[in-house]
Structure 1
Amino acid sequence: MNQHSTKWQSIGGSLLLASNIFVLVLLLAGDRLAVPSWLQVAGRMHPLVLHFPIVLLLIGAVLPFVPMRNPEAVAWRNQVTAVMLLLGALSAAVTVMMGLFLSREEGYSAEGPLFWHKWGGALLLWTASALYWLRNSLKGWGNRGFSLGMIVLLMVTGHFGAVVTHGENFVLAPVTPAFVRPVVPIDQAELFAHVVQPILEEKCMSCHNPGKAKGGLSMKDSVQMLAGGKTGELFISGDPAASLLMLRLHLPDADKKHMPPAGKPQLTEAEIAILHHWIQNGAKFDGKVKSLPPQDTLYQLAAARLTPPGGAEQLDLPHADEKLVAKLNNNYRVVYPVALYAAPLVANWYNRDKFDIGSVKELLPLKDQLTEMHLQKMPVKDEDLALLAQFRELRVLNLGFTQITGKTLGELAKLPHLQRLSVAGTPVAAQQLLALKKAPKLDKIYTWNTGISSTDMQKIQSTFPGVELVNGFISDGQEQLKLNQPEIVNTAAIFKNDMQLIMKHRVKGVEIRYTTDGSAPDSVNSPVFKDSLRLTESTVIRAIACKKGWNVSDPVQYSFSKSTYRPDSITLISQPEGQYTGNGAKTLNDAEKGTFNYSDGKWLGYVNHPLEAVVRFEKAVPLKQVSFSTFRHQDAYIFPPEQIEVWGGTDKNNLRLLRKTSLPAAKQGDPVAPITYNCDFPEAEVSYVKIVMKPLGKIPVWHPGKGGHGWAFIDELMFN
Structure 2
Amino acid sequence: MIAAEKITVRRTSIARSAWIRVLGVSVMLIALPFVFRLDGRAHGDWLQFFGRFHPVLLHLPIGLIVLVPVLEITGVKRPALREAAGFVLSVALIVALPTLALGYMLAYGAGDSGTTVTLHMSGAIALCIGLMLCVLMRPAWAARAQANIYPSLLVATLLVLVWTSHQGGSISHGSDYLTHYMPTALRPLLRISSGENVSPDSFYARHINPVLDAKCVSCHSASNAKAGLRLDTYDRLMRGGQDGTSILPGKPDASMLLKRVTLPNTDRHFMPAEGRTPLTTEEISWIRAWILAGASPIATTVPGVNIAADHSEPPPQPVDDYSALMPEILRMQQGQGAKLVPVSGKASDGLILRTVDISSTFGDAQLAQLQKFAPYIVEAELGRTAVTDAAFDTLSRFTHLRALHLEGTSITGTGIAKLSALSQLTYLNLSSTKVTPDSVTVLKKMPNLRHVYLFNTAAQPDDTSARKTP
Q: Give the alignment's TM-score, normalised by structure 1.
A: 0.32
Q: Report which structure shows greater RCO (CA 8 Å, sep ≥6).
A: 2
The answer to which structure has the higher helix fraction is 2
The alignment's TM-score, normalised by the length of structure 2, stands at 0.46
Larger CA Rg, structure 1 vs 2: 1
Higher percent of residues as strand: 1
